Amino acid sequence: MGSIIVLDREGKEHKLNAQSGLTIMEIIRDAGLDIEAACGGCCACATCHVYLDKDSFSLLKSMQDDEESMLDQAFSVNNYSRLSCQIEYEEKLDGIKMTLAPE
Ligand code: FES
């Protein structure tokens, strides 16, 4: 078991236990943080949008087309934006850091 670091919208840092096989969205949601994830992880809502820090971003697998086109329609996207439901946690991601995007 590893962990991820998530900054909430108030700037408060949370260290969450992370288990391989779960998506980042599921880890954040199950910890009770405020992430809407309206579509439940189907890559259809963009309400699981997070900003990775630069080093963390570089560890992720590249985006699939459906994530890219959903992010195209999302607000406040930056170079380190990802949809957290499309990132599956694995051991090499231990310690990655991200911020919840505004609602
Ligand atoms: S939860 Fe809807 S796109 Fe991720």
pLDDT at 101 (0 to 100): 98
Alpha carbon of 7 to those of 16, 54, 69, 79: distances in Å? 11, 14, 25, 18
pLDDT level of residue 57 (50, 70, 90 thresholds): very high
Domain with 33, as residue range(s), is: 2-100
Mean pLDDT of the 77-86 span:
98
Give the number of the atom of ligand 1 that is nearest the alpha carbon of residue 43. Answer: 3
Mean pLDDT of the 52-78 span:
97
Give the number of the atom of ligand 1 that is nearest the alpha carbon of residue 36. Answer: 1
pLDDT at 95 (0 to 100): 98
Number of domains in the chain: 1
Ligand 1 touching residue 28 (CB < 6 A): no
| pTM, two decimal places | 0.96
Alpha carbon of 64 to those of 17, 41, 51, 55, 61: distances in Å? 26, 14, 17, 20, 9
The domain that contains 95 carries what CATH number?
A: 3.10.20.30
Residue 1 pLDDT more than 90? Answer: no
